[in-house]
């Protein structure tokens, strides 16, 4: 077999193994929660003032557990779970939104998260790294040091604090309206997408506004060091134009930053609870939060399954793509 | 033999700002005058930190802060025969008119002197592009192949990336790049420092052959006196930013005049000589605060009173020979 094919197969097998380990750990963790869906359901009924006898409670609990498939021994539950995911592709019903299917719930929320977070991570990566390289090479030292100080000052502040402060500043100090979208009747997928973009625009703004710091600081440091590298100095002495030298610095500095981009993109499948909660945005993070609060094992597993797969795929892509963008990294058997 | 570079009273160094305002000046090149003739090899010798690389950078015209030239001039005779003052040209003019076509530069061998993301052939093509030369791709490839053969490098090198080559191969590629446009002047700054003696000889022979064929001039910077003995026509000895002695290589080895030159040559290993080599006691002076008078006096075994007070003038002793030492002025 060609060593390259062997390598790719090995990497794919490894990715599958990672996914299996990941979902198994998720399964175990979900079952370790100190409460389950049936108990939550009953305690809620009691809280609403329904009077139930002990016997009724026990019966109801048994029924619910049976309905959710939680009455079987844990090892059987695990076997069913694996069979469903690996073979039939079924993810079972959600407990909290019973009897909706987990797949349908995720399918509805995922496009929202992907639209927002994919745009946010790509744009903030581009903005951060672009600004970083410009700041490292510009003659206007003052501007670049102002940018750097802003980035360093804001980077350690948690996003929740920044986002809330920004909201307060935007609404109460600047008194500007939040660009939203009224839900009009939507007929085509294209209209749906436009509607989604309009809903996403404000959280996107905030995400990009506070999301470029990391890329900026990293890129500036790398590019500053790259500028002193022997081959850059040699190219300068060879008579390379400023433009060629800048491009060379950019091209060489971007390599380590590529990892953050791909891993950032893989994170869009987990959604962002914080952003979606603060901006009331119907994404995956929002659903994950309610799944955890309601001990909705199936929904939880479904979401984390996607997240695990996305991360494993991102790592696989990185491994396969790096030799294409950096000749110093080679596939096995490539000499 | 006409003069193609005339360096006159060149004075400069590194201006470093420490904590905003306070300025430290590293006086790396102190009142240096030099002449480079066509079709000759001029060596510049001296220990680390004596300013020989700084002098090379100044002559090449890569004067970017913190490096500054305070006074003096560097004149270059162009192919047309007129003189241009290099230190009056902007970097942009140097880049377009002088670098690589008139004066070329061979840097110190280092692991990453070549862009790690570009194949060797692209490194050559890039140099053509930098100088706005539109040449046929086939022609370029043929030219690169010929060059590689003349450097006794395997042809596969053309498609290799720099990291796939050994240090010696890489340095040969760098030399080929530097000699690409057959420049009239080549400045080689320690071209063989990081390679073993066998590779060193191969590389030096390559440069030597090329130079003799093209009748170009070479400024060779090295701390290694044996390299100078092998390559040079004339050699200038540098100490702490001064050129203390210049002479024809054979004469200088036969009869070193300056006490520093003497110490340098005595430190060489000679065939059959079994006596222990003596080192020169002391350290080279701090160039931010050089000693008054002759900069060598703290280490000089013949130091006199006048050496501590006054800078020695250049004493000319025959054609092409001068020494800056009070011992030879007749005043001592």
Contact yes or no for B115 and A244 at CB 8 A: no
Distance from CA of B155 to the nearest CA of A (A): 16
Of A236, A240, A251, the CB nearest to B117: A251
Question: Is B216 inside a domain boundary?
Answer: yes
Contact yes or no for A327 and B130 at CB 8 A: no
C-alpha triplet A180, A185, A189: angle, nearest 5°: 85
Rounded mean pLDDT, B29-38: 89
CATH number at residue B36: 3.40.50.300
Number of domains in chain A: 1
Instruction: List, run by run, the mean pLDDT of 10-residue segments along chain A (335 residues).
Output: 83 91 88 78 78 79 79 84 80 76 84 88 91 87 87 88 88 77 68 82 88 89 90 90 90 88 80 81 85 83 87 87 84 66
Of A238, A251, A326, the CB nearest to B100: A238
Contacts of A244 in chain B (CB under 8 A): 126, 129-130
Measured distance CA(A169)–CA(A163) in Å, rounded: 10
Measured distance CA(A296)–CA(A69) in Å, rounded: 12
pLDDT of residue A185: 66
Contact yes or no for A252 and B117 at CB 8 A: yes
H/E stretch holding B24: strand B22-37
Question: Is A13 inside a domain boundary?
Answer: no
Contact yes or no for A237 and B110 at CB 8 A: no
**What contacts A87, CB < 8 A, 6 or more positions away?**
none
Question: Is B273 inside a domain boundary?
Answer: no
DSSP-derived secondary structure letter, A264: H
Number of domains in chain B: 1
pLDDT of residue A127: 92
pLDDT of residue B1: 63
- Flag whether pLDDT at B223 surpasses 70: yes
- Flag whether pLDDT at B301 surpasses 60: yes
Tell me the torsion sign for CA atoms A54, A58, A60, A64: positive
Contact yes or no for B95 and A244 at CB 8 A: no
Contacts of A225 in chain B (CB under 8 A): none
Question: Is B71 inside a domain boundary?
Answer: yes
Question: Is A121 inside a domain boundary?
Answer: yes
Provide the domain limits for residue A216: 103-294
Rounded mean pLDDT, B266-276: 80
Question: Is B209 inside a domain boundary?
Answer: yes
Each residue's pLDDT tens digit, B104-132: 999 887 778 899 999 998 999 888 888 88
Contacts of B131 in chain A (CB under 8 A): 239
Of B114, B127, B163, the CB nearest to A328: B163
Rounded mean pLDDT, B310-318: 86
Distance from CA of B170 to the nearest CA of A (A): 12
Of B115, B131, B163, the CB nearest to A239: B131
Contact yes or no for A239 and B117 at CB 8 A: no
Chain-centroid distance, C-alpha A6? 30
Question: Is B253 inside a domain boundary?
Answer: no
- pTM here is 0.80
Provide the domain limits for residue B58: 3-102+183-237
pLDDT of residue B22: 65
Contact yes or no for A239 and B130 at CB 8 A: yes
Q: Which residue of B has its CA nearest to A232?
A: B115
Each residue's pLDDT tens digit, A97-117: 777 788 888 888 888 888 888
Question: Is A173 inside a domain boundary?
Answer: yes
Question: Is A50 inside a domain boundary?
Answer: no
- Flag whether pLDDT at B99 surpasses 60: yes
Contact yes or no for B110 and A241 at CB 8 A: no
Contacts of B117 in chain A (CB under 8 A): 251-252, 326-327
Contact yes or no for A231 and B116 at CB 8 A: yes
Q: Which residue of B has its CA nearest to A252?
A: B117
Question: Is B198 inside a domain boundary?
Answer: yes
Q: Which residue of B has its CA nearest to A335?
A: B164
Percent helix, percent strand, percent coil in chain B, to nearest 5: 35, 25, 40
DSSP-derived secondary structure letter, A32: T
Question: Is A15 inside a domain boundary?
Answer: no
Question: Is B230 inside a domain boundary?
Answer: yes
pLDDT of residue A222: 92
Distance from CA of A239 to the nearest CA of B (A): 5
Each residue's pLDDT tens digit, B185-214: 999 998 887 788 888 888 899 899 989 998
Give one DSSP letter per residue of B104-161, joined into a string: EEEPPP-TTSS-TTS-HHHHHHHHHHHTT----HHHHHHHHHHHHHHTT--GGGGG--
Question: Is B192 inside a domain boundary?
Answer: yes
Contacts of A234 in chain B (CB under 8 A): 107, 113-114, 174
Measured distance CA(A28)–CA(A31) in Å, rounded: 5
Identify the residue among A236, A237, A254 best suited for mutation to test binding to B, counting B beta carbons within 10 A and taking the highest: A237
Of B113, B131, B161, the CB nearest to A231: B113
CATH number at residue A277: 1.10.3720.10
Q: Tokens 């599958």 sit at which residue?
A: A16
- Flag whether pLDDT at B81 surpasses 90: no
Contact yes or no for A234 and B114 at CB 8 A: yes
pLDDT of residue B332: 47
Contact yes or no for A240 and B126 at CB 8 A: yes
Q: Is residue B34 within 8 Å of B5, Cβ to Cβ?
A: yes
Contacts of B110 in chain A (CB under 8 A): 230
Contact yes or no for B116 and A327 at CB 8 A: yes
Contact yes or no for A244 and B96 at CB 8 A: no
Q: Where are the alpha helices (DSSP H) in chain B?
A: 52-60, 91-93, 120-130, 137-150, 167-178, 197-214, 225-231, 249-254, 259-266, 305-309
């Amino acid at each position: 077999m060609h060593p390259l094919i062997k390598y790719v197969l090995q990497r794919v097998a490894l990715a599958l193994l990672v996914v299996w380990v990941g979902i198994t750990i998720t399964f175990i963790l979900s079952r370790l929660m100190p409460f389950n869906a049936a108990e939550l359901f009953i305690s809620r009924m009691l809280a609403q003032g329904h009077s139930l006898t002990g016997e009724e409670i026990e019966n109801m609990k048994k029924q619910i557990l049976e309905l959710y498939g939680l009455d079987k021994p844990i090892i059987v539950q695990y076997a069913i779970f694996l069979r469903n995911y690996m073979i039939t592709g079924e993810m079972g019903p959600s407990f909290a939104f019973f009897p909706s299917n987990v797949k349908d719930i995720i399918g509805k929320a995922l496009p929202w998260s992907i639209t927002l977070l994919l745009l946010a991570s790509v744009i903030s990566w581009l903005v951060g790294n672009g600004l970083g390289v410009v700041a490292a090479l510009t003659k206007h030292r003052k501007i670049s040091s102002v940018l750097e100080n802003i980035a360093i000052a804001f980077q350690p502040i948690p996003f929740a604090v920044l986002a809330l402060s920004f909201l307060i500043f935007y609404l109460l100090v600047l008194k500007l309206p939040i660009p939203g979208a009224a839900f009009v009747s939507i007929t085509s997928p294209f209209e749906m997408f436009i509607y989604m973009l309009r809903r996403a625009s404000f959280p996107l703004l905030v995400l990009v506004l506070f999301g470029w710091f990391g890329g900026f600081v990293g890129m500036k440091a790398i590019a500053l060091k790259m500028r002193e590298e022997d081959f850059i100095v040699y190219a300068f002495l060879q008579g390379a134009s400023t433009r060629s030298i800048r491009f060379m610095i950019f091209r060489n500095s971007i390599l380590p930053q590529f990892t953050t981009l791909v891993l950032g993109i893989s994170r869009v499948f987990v959604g962002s609870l914080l952003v979606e909660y603060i901006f009331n945005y119907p994404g995956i993070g929002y659903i994950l939060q309610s799944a955890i609060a309601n001990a909705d094992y199936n929904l939880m597993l479904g979401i984390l399954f996607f997240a695990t797969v996305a991360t494993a795929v991102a790592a696989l892509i990185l491994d396969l793509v790096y030799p294409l963008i950096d000749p110093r990294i080679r596939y096995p058997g490539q000499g | 033999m006409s003069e193609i570079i005339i360096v006159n009273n060149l004075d400069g160094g590194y201006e470093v700002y420490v904590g905003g305002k306070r300025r430290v000046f590293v006086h790396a090149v102190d009142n240096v005058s030099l002449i480079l003739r066509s079709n000759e090899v001029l060596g510049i010798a001296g220990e680390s930190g004596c300013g020989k690389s700084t002098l090379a950078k100044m002559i090449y015209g890569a004067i970017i802060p913190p490096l500054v030239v305070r006074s003096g001039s560097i004149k270059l005779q162009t192919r047309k025969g007129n003189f241009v003052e290099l230190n009056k040209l902007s970097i942009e003019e140097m880049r377009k008119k002088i670098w690589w076509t008139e004066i070329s530069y061979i840097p110190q061998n280092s692991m990453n002197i070549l862009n790690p993301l570009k194949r060797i052939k692209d490194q050559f093509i890039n140099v053509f592009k930098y100088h706005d030369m539109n040449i046929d791709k086939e022609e370029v490839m043929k030219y690169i192949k010929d060059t590689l053969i003349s450097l006794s490098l395997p042809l596969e090198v053309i498609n290799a990336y720099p990291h796939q080559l050994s240090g010696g191969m890489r340095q040969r590629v760098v030399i080929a790049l530097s000699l690409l446009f057959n420049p009239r002047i080549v400045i080689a700054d320690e071209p063989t420092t990081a390679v073993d003696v066998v590779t060193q000889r191969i590389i030096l022979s390559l440069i030597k052959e090329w130079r003799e064929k093209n009748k170009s001039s070479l400024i060779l910077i090295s701390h290694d006196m044996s390299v100078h003995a092998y390559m040079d026509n004339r050699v200038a000895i540098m100490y702490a930013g001064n050129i203390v002695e210049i002479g024809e290589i054979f004469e200088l080895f036969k009869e070193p005049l300056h006490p520093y030159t003497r110490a340098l040559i005595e430190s060489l290993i000679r065939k059959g000589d079994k006596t222990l080599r003596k080192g020169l006691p002391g350290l080279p002076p701090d160039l931010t605060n050089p000693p008054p008078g002759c900069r060598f006096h703290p280490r000089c075994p013949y130091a006199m009173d006048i050496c501590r007070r006054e800078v020695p003038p250049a004493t000319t002793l025959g054609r092409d020979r001068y020494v800056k030492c009070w011992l030879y002025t007749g005043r001592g």
